[in-house]
């Protein structure tokens, strides 16, 4: 989880997020998710190259992350000045969207459908093979 500096006065709040300063990558793509029902699950994939920053700029949502080794964590995004950094090769599922949810997503890469891993079993195999490769030295 990342927390960003809030500036503001009687006119309202301002949150600034800068590449390589507040997040560990240069932003090449921004997209946002809104209008998803509370029982909708988005994401359900991992990325070979892309790193992400997710911020609920309005409303709330949850993000479940899995590392392919049996570990998982759930984060509640419910404040517009906090976000979650997701490195590459992390399985992500976004869900439990409030009716006013706007989930802002910043990515380190331009969209490339070939870098998406859309089957969880394939993701686990990639992680397992990567670990075996690293352990062999």
> Could you tell me the pTM of the whole model?
0.91
With contact defined as beta carbons under 8 Å apart, do 63 and 84 qualify?
yes
Catalytic site includes residue 81? no
> Residue 137's pLDDT is what?
58
pLDDT tens for the 137 residues of the chain, in order: 999 989 988 999 999 999 999 999 999 999 999 999 999 999 999 999 999 999 999 999 999 999 999 999 999 999 999 999 999 999 999 999 999 999 999 999 999 999 999 999 999 999 999 877 567 65
Which of 2, 27, 34, 45 is labelled catalytic?
45
- For each of the domains in the chain, give its residue range(s) and CATH number, in order of start: 2-136 (2.60.120.10)
**Assigned token pair, 124:** 């686990």
> Residue 8's pLDDT is what?
87
């Amino acid at each position: 989880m990342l927390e960003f500096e809030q500036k503001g006065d009687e006119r309202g709040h301002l949150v600034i997020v800068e590449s390589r300063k507040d997040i560990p990558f240069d932003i090449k793509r921004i997209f946002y998710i809104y209008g998803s029902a509370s029982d909708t699950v988005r994401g359900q994939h991992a990325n070979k190259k892309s790193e992400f920053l997710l911020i609920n700029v309005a409303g709330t949502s949850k993000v479940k992350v899995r590392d392919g080794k049996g570990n998982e964590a759930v984060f509640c995004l419910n404040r517009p000045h906090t976000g979650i950094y997701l490195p590459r090769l992390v399985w992500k599922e976004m869900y439990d969207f409030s009716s006013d949810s706007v989930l802002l997503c910043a990515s380190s890469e331009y969209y490339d459908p070939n870098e998406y891993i859309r089957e969880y079993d394939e993701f686990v195999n990639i992680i397992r093979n990567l670990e075996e490769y690293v352990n062999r030295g």
